Amino acid sequence: MIDEELISKTKESAALRHEINTIYDEIRQNCSFFRYTYILRTMTLLRRKYQQQVMDTHTRKITRLLYRETDVDEHILNISSYELSFFQKLILCRGLKFSIPQRISPIEVKASFEKAYGNLEPHLRNDDVKELAAATLRSVALEYIN
């Protein structure tokens, strides 16, 4: 049942991704390059703002749920002088097998996006599309690094 749900969500995600790409293509065809770049920047800023709002909401919910049911401090004995943040304590309460993803260096991010562009380039039609793809990938890579 979980596999079926995962497959349906993957298909739904692919359909949404296709729809978004179609909308981007339509905007690009109807606008100048400068206006298209500005629209992409605005959409990225709005997406980031929305994502931050969602994360803040989830953080408040988790904090409220944990505050009522358990006291995080009663499970952790900190004998060092380093003061743990709430989220560090929360992670420790998850157990020793819980892990946090490691931070990726900007050089690795740039290299992976360059590799993605290298794989994408043979499938692009003309120089304008190649330039647009390169600019978009560069913008996404810089956003990811920041």
pLDDT at 67: 59
| Torsion, CA 141, CA 15, CA 27, CA 35, rounded to 10 | -20
140 CB contacts (<8 Å, ≥6 apart)? 113
DSSP reduced 3-state for 95: coil
* pLDDT for residue 61 is more than 80: no
pTM of whole model > 0.75?
no
pLDDT at 53: 92
Q: Which amino acid is at 1?
A: M
pLDDT at 131: 82
User: Mean pLDDT in the chain?
Assistant: 80
How far is Cα 60 from Cα 66, in angstroms, rounded to an integer?
10
* pLDDT for residue 69 is more than 60: no
